[in-house]
Structure formats: C-alpha cells, structure tokens
C-alpha cells in the first residue's frame, strides 16, 4: 500500500481539483484579491532580511542555530507570499498559498522540487517525504528544549531557503 498523496501532489495531477479548491478558498475568503506591488516588494524584502538574519545567527552567535532555522522558515514563507501578491492575491493559510503557487507558477517557473521545499517548509505533514522538513525543525527549535541543533544542519536547511527566495526574486523581477 503506497503513501497517501498530499493535496498539492493531487493538484499537480488534477487541474480541475486545483481550480475547484481555489474557488473554494476564494469563496471562504482564505484567498483574497487586491494585493499590490507594494506587498510584493514588502514580502520579498522581509524574506531577504530573514535570510540575512539566519546567516548572522550562524556566523556570529554560533550556538543559537535553532533561531537560524526559524528565520529560514519565515524567509521561505515570505517569498511564497510575495509570489502570491505578484498575482494579486493574499492568503490566510499555507495550503491556500501552495495552491496559488501551483496554479500560477508550476511548471513554467517553479519545479516540483521547489514546491517540495515550500511544502516541507510551511506545512507539517503526517508523512515524511524528505529528510528535512523545515517547519517541523522550526517548531522544534521554537518550542522544544530537547533538540540539539548543529551548524551543519542549519546551513543545509538554509541552502534550500536561499535557493527558493532567489528563485522567487528572479520570477518577480522578470514579471515586473
């Protein structure tokens, strides 16, 4: 028996399901229209600042790597919100954010691996699809007293965050 597919994986296979869910998010006001270019730039700016903070934590504070992970989580989340705003939308849920990314940016601008980075960063799923789930690390880093983080782990998680934010910025710059 195979692993149950996640919602975003079903959307990749079935655009009708994506459209139906998207309309439902609009109706429930989980997705709202009217986001502006100011929001695009604001979210992108926050994403980049979070990347800078994460790097500073690793380089300067040396033993607070869990806070670097928290900042990387917010960098990816803010970059995803910037992409949503680029299309004129704001969201109130991580799942709705991912639906927008699939609807407007997959496969022309972002890959399935990019979506995995976002999903694994922003959503805690029952099934572990990859070794690294940044959001789970972020939650552990914030709330747990038993998780011991190392520089290598923080840096490997950071590489994915940096790649996604860079790709989001490239998509935004090429669209303006």
pLDDT at 173: 93
What is the extent of the structural domain holding 63?
7-175
The CATH number of residue 112's host domain is 1.20.120.330
Q: 11-36, pLDDT tens digit by residue?
A: 999 999 999 999 999 999 999 999 99
Coil, helix or strand for 72? helix
Chain-centre distance for alpha carbon 43: 12
- Please, are residues 119 and 125 in contact by the beta-carbon 8 Å criterion? yes
Task: Name residues of the chain where pLDDT drops below 50.
Answer: 123-132, 147
Residue 63 lies in a domain: yes
Rounded CA-CA distance 125/131 in Å is: 12
Q: 142-164, pLDDT tens digit by residue?
A: 666 554 557 777 888 889 889 99
What predicted TM-score, i.e. pTM, was given to this entire model? 0.82
Interhelix angle 112-122/151-175, rounded to 10 degrees, is 120
Residue 1 lies in a domain: no
Residue 150 lies in a domain: yes
Rounded CA-CA distance 78/76 in Å is: 6
pLDDT at 137: 65
Is residue 120 within a helix (H) or strand (E), and if so which, with residue range?
helix 112-122
Residue 140 lies in a domain: yes
CA distances from 115 to 30, 75, 103, 111, 152 (A): 20, 15, 12, 6, 23
Which of 1, 43, 9 lies closest to 123 in space, CA to CA? 9
Residue 22 lies in a domain: yes
Ramachandran sector of residue 167 (left: φ over 0; alpha: ψ -120 to 50; beta: rest): alpha
pLDDT at 73: 84
pLDDT at 63: 78
Q: Work out how many domains the chain is built from and give that number.
A: 1
Residue 109 lies in a domain: yes
Residue 82 lies in a domain: yes
- Residue 92 is classified by DSSP as S
CB-based contacts of 153, cutoff 8 Å, min separation 6: 65, 69, 137
pLDDT at 155: 83
Residue 2 lies in a domain: no
pLDDT at 132: 37
């Amino acid at each position: 028996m195979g692993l149950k597919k996640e919602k975003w994986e079903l959307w990749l296979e079935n655009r009708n399901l994506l459209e139906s869910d998207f309309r439902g998010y609009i109706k429930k006001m989980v997705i709202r229209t009217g986001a502006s270019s100011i929001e695009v730039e604001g979210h992108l700016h926050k994403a980049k600042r979070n990347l800078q903070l994460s790097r500073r934590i690793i380089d300067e504070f040396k033993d607070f790597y869990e806070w670097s992970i928290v900042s990387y989580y917010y960098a990816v989340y803010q970059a995803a919100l910037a992409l949503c705003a680029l299309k004129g939308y704001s969201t109130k849920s991580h799942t709705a954010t991912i639906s927008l990314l699939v609807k407007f940016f997959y496969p022309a601008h972002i890959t399935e691996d990019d979506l995995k980075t976002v999903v694994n960063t922003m959503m805690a799923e029952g099934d572990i699809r990859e070794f690294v789930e940044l959001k789970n690390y972020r939650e552990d880093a914030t709330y747990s007293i038993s998780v011991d983080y190392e520089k290598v782990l923080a840096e490997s998680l950071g590489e994915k965050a940096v790649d996604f934010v860079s790709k989001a910025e490239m998509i935004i710059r090429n669209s303006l």
